[in-house]
Amino acid sequence: MEVFALSPPVPVFPSRHSSLSVAATTSLPAGARKNQRVIRVPASSGTDRYHISGSGASRSSQSSSLDVTKTDGKRNPATPVNSSRQDAVAEVIQSPDWVSALSRLETKLQVQDLNIILRFFGKSKRWQDVSQLFNWMQEREMTNIASYSSFMKYMGESRNLIRALHVYSSIEDESTRNNVSICNSLLGCMLKDRKFESCIKMFNQMKENGLVPDLFTYSILLAGCAKVEHGYSQALELVEELESRGLHMDNVIYGTLLAICASHNLCEEAERFFQQMNAEGLSPNLFHYSSLLNAYSVDGDHKKADEIVKSMKSAGLVPNKVILTTLLKVYVRGGLLERSRELLIDLENLGYAEDEIPFCLVMDNLAKKGDVREAKICLNLCLHVAADGYSYSIMISAFCRNGQLKEAKELAREYETIYDKYDLVMLNTLLRAYCNAGEMENVMQMLRKMDALKISPDWNTFQILVKYFLKEKLYHLAYQTVEDMHSKGHQVGEELCSSLILELGKSGAPSEAFSVYNMLRYSKTTPRKSIHEKMLNILIGAKLFKNAYVVMKDNAEDISAPSLDKFAFSFMQAGNINMINDVVKALHRCGRKIDEEVLHIAISRYIARPEKEELLLHLLKWMPGQGYTLNSSSRDLLLKNSHLFGQRQLIAEILAQRNQG
């Protein structure tokens, strides 16, 4: 298990999505909206970076969602709200039957009041109420830009992209549909649903339809670049585009670019952006430093990491928990075990080691270096801190890798006794421990637990089970598991499939073996050439000649001459008589010179079935053109039985022509 996936995620800036609602508490006339401007607050501040104001003063986003009259403690002159409307908003929000309350108070409420209620439902994660209220607002044409923007945002948080796209496509007014706040919200919604490619296509379509992107638009898209394979190249294109529009990168954009570089293991590129940021007079904050440290942690570059921490301190910034934990990751990956221990002690003294994450970093490194004893000591040290059990996962996996199956099993049971928390990673870890120890009852218990918790198995789960069932000679269970794995869209591993195919063939289940072969054959990977010959021999032995013909025909170049000859003899003796000519021609096409004895067997079978005279005549006419002759036994057999076909004269003529040739 890659423990670093368990470390704290790269810290992100305060969410911008909460400020997507332009004029969130007011429905401004066009002239007033025109004079608004966006103020970006430094990322290190505790408030949202985007604030809408008519006067230029930033407005805090920390005010209560129920307070529609205050802005930084003062009444907002742009939002005239009387106490009766405030009371109506509060009554709707607090009512157990808010729909009835809303219908009763409808005449007292304006669009901005409904937006407050909408945001209250959204912040409370009442997704059904969000959707129901928005429908109500649409039906009464009581929506504005903020309504759509907030709704899209909450559809993103609730992973309901289809609903967001439906609402967006239903917007008829072009200026509303191209509003940058609404477009930004929809793009953010798509990224939350991990639809990066679709998001970029939508962005391009929006621009064609009239969207003028702002810096926030590019920040949203850049954030998505950190999570996709080719995100860095896409990020560079976006940066080039935003600069071509006259926009300038700020702390937020640079922070995102550093995070992208870190997630794509691009240390030098991260350094260049960091230097460029400084050259432009922008002061890095803790987020920028932690992103750069993350980039250094990939290769464990502790020298550069120490330099950047020193630079940060000289700039007056005090390393926080994230910085020190990331530095610990650098030391661990750089192999500096002693410094890792010292820093871990510092984290404890500062109160930053109140959870198991720092311990897990050190423990995982020790385990992967084979120092399981020291890793176990580290596990004992972290038992006094708040933990989710990931430390157990690391240690159980380490025991399994080291062949200490008894210890792995005991630790797995200890985890189950202490914790009542399971996720897919932990279940897979426990499953592997019990499978390696041959504990069938515990294996079944883990599978039942997965079902009860509605946790879907992943590729690792299936791999663990197939290996276990093969080891225990439970080949039919292994086959059913591979079949289930394939049906759920997981890539079937070639090594396991090859082993399973052979074992199924030996155990008298050739049809199941052929089914697994086809899963492997039509997977994204190209199977080894040897698997085709193995499958052919299994099918020949089981007399499944039709399937064997398919394997031979498609893969003859990867099958040895003895196996092809074996197939030819076997098929002529017992294969489908209607396919004999097809098999003969297929063998000839692949460059095999067909043995006279094989042809003799084919002719003998045709003679035994007079109703197949057309097939016999077709074969006899085909042979001379391909350079084949009949041996004396075949000629005598044909002449002796030609009367059975009613074609004595014709067969005699064919044989005579062959003699002349």
Instruction: Check which CATH number belongs to the domain holding 79 and give it.
Output: 1.25.40.10
Task: Note whether residue 31 is domain-resident.
Answer: yes
Element (H, E) at 504: helix 494-506
Give the residue among 251, 191, 186 at the shortest CA–CA distance from 44.
Answer: 251
**Tokens for 308?**
């950047």
Tell me, yes or no, whether 467 lies in a domain. no
- Segment 18-36 shows an average pLDDT of 35
Average pLDDT along the chain: 81
**The overall pTM is greater than 0.75:** no
Question: Is the pLDDT score of 218 beyond 70?
Answer: yes
pLDDT band at 18 (very low <50, low <70, confident <90, very high): very low
Per the structure, the complete domain to which residue 87 belongs is given by: 10-345
What distance in Å separates the CA atoms of residue 189 and residue 149, rounded to the nearest whole number?
10
CA distance 135 to 122: 14
pLDDT of 392-418, one tens digit each?
Answer: 888 888 888 878 888 888 888 888 887
> Residue 649: is its pLDDT beyond 80?
no
Distance CA 25, CA 21 (A): 9
> Which class for 37: exposed (0-12), middle (13-18), buried (19 or more C-beta within 10 A)?
exposed
Domain total for the chain?
1
**CA-closest candidate to residue 628, choices 562, 586, 584, 590:** 584
The SS3 assignment for 460 reads helix
Of 600, 602, 554, give the one whose Cα is nearest residue 581. 602
Query: Residue 394: CB partners within 8 Å, gap ≥ 6?
Result: 1, 3, 360, 363, 364, 367, 375, 379
Residue 205 lies in a domain: yes
Per-residue pLDDT tens for 413-462?
888 887 777 888 888 888 988 898 888 988 998 899 899 889 899 999 99
**Which residues fall within 8 angstroms of residue 418, CB to CB, at 6 or more apart?**
389
What's at 542, amino acid-wise? A
Which alpha helices (DSSP H) does 140-179 contain, by range?
145-157, 161-169, 174-177
The sign of the torsion formed by the CA atoms of 106, 107, 109, 111 equals: positive
Rounded CA-CA distance 526/330 in Å is: 38
DSSP assigned state of 283: P
SS (H, E, C) 445-513: HHHHHHHHCCCCCCHHHHHHHHHHHHHCCCHHHHHHHHHHHHHCCCCCCHHHHHHHHHHHHHCCCHHHH
| DSSP E strands, 2-134 | 37-40, 50-53, 70-71, 74-75
pLDDT (0 to 100) of residue 258: 92
Are residues 202 and 190 in contact, defined by beta-carbon separation less than 8 angstroms?
Answer: yes
pLDDT at 658 over 70: no
Q: Which residues contact 240 (CB under 8 A, 6 or more apart)?
A: none
